[in-house]
């Protein structure tokens, strides 16, 4: 009786097709992983808060001491650059989070379950990059706008040579620089994610990220000036940050050329991660 009763049920279960693995479903899974971890939310918040805080604090300091600053300091003061200082620190938080997005799964062993569910593996990498990149840009863009408008509001009313030092978003190159800052942070996060996929180790990934973006540029200062000026513009961080410049500073790439080069570095690193992901054992 029991066998007769259960047989149709067992037969029905065997005929029920398994859910097909699609890029959309993999992306939804990665979204769930990303938002379910408190450490992820805290790190994102730290990156966004840093972007805003380190625009407001320098603006307050410069506004308070503007009357006592020398004419040379006033002449060389860059109100846009002071609004974007937080990007230099935020990139470290977002780059480290990018590494953790994938290296964290290797450290916990969850990556085995992920690849068991998605045997082709590459959809996992594309989903992680797409979800993380989108979330980073969506949060970084308003943070950059808040940082800019807050800093300029503080600087408004302070003048030099009869001109208000505060900038408007409609001034030439300003909108491109502010939006470009969000784009730069997004690429920095994806660069970190790619390194995490390559090294599969959090410490190695973050160390390499910090070394490339923070350690190598100052080390070039020990080289002869002609060598430094020829090499520095092509470093990932220097090239990417060209998007946030106004005018044509010496020994730098153009804004769009620089960010395109940084995007190329990120794409090449992601391609290397994809090749290794397919060839290596879990």
Please tell me whether residue 145 adopts helix, strand or coil conformation.
helix
What does pLDDT average to over the chain? 88
Helix, strand, coil share of the chain (percent; to 5): 80, 0, 20
The confidence band for 19, taking pLDDT boundaries of 50, 70 and 90, is: low
Dump pLDDT digits (tens) for 86-101: 998 899 999 999 999 9
Which letter, b or e, does each residue of 33-53 get, where b requires 16 or more Cβ atoms within 10 Å of its Cβ?
A: bbeeeeebeebbebbbebbbb
For residue 12, the model assigns a pLDDT of 45
Q: Which residues contact 188 (CB under 8 A, 6 or more apart)?
A: 91, 94, 95, 98, 213, 240
* Residue 73: count of CB within 10 angstroms of its CB: 13
Beta strands at 159-160 and 163-164: parallel, antiparallel or unpaired: antiparallel
User: Hey, where are the domains in the chain?
Assistant: 21-279
Dump pLDDT digits (tens) for 104-138: 999 888 999 898 889 899 999 999 999 999 999 99
Please tell me whether residue 254 adopts helix, strand or coil conformation.
coil
Whether 20 shows a pLDDT value over 90: the answer reads no
Dump pLDDT digits (tens) for 142-168: 999 999 999 999 988 877 777 778 888
Q: Model pTM? A: 0.89
């Amino acid at each position: 009786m029991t066998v007769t009763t259960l047989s149709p049920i067992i037969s029905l279960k065997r005929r029920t097709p398994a859910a097909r693995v699609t890029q959309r479903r993999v992306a939804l899974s990665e979204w769930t992983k990303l938002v379910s971890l408190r450490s992820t939310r805290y790190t994102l918040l730290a990156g966004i808060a840093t972007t805003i805080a380190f625009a407001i604090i320098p603006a307050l300091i410069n506004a308070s001491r503007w009357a006592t600053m020398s004419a040379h300091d006033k002449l060389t003061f860059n109100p846009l650059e002071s609004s974007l200082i937080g990007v230099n620190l935020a990139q470290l938080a977002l780059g480290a989070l990018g590494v953790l997005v994938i290296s964290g799964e290797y450290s916990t062993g969850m990556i085995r379950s992920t690849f068991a569910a998605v045997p082709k593996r590459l959809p996992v990498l594309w989903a992680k990059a797409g979800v993380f990149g989108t979330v980073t840009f969506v949060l970084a863009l308003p943070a950059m706008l808040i940082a800019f408008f807050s800093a300029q509001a503080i600087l408004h009313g302070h003048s030099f040579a009869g001109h208000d030092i505060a900038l408007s978003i409609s001034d030439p190159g300003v909108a491109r620089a502010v939006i470009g800052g969000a784009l730069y942070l997004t690429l920095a996060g994806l660069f970190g994610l790619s390194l995490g996929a390559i090294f599969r180790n959090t410490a190695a990934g973050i160390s390499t990220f910090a070394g490339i973006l923070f350690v190598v540029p100052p080390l070039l200062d020990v080289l002869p000036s002609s060598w430094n000026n020829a090499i520095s513009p092509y470093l990932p961080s220097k090239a990417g940050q060209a998007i946030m410049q106004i005018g044509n500073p010496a020994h730098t790439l153009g804004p769009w050329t620089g960010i395109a080069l940084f995007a190329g570095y990120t794409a090449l690193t992601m391609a290397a991660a994809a090749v290794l992901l397919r060839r290596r054992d879990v």
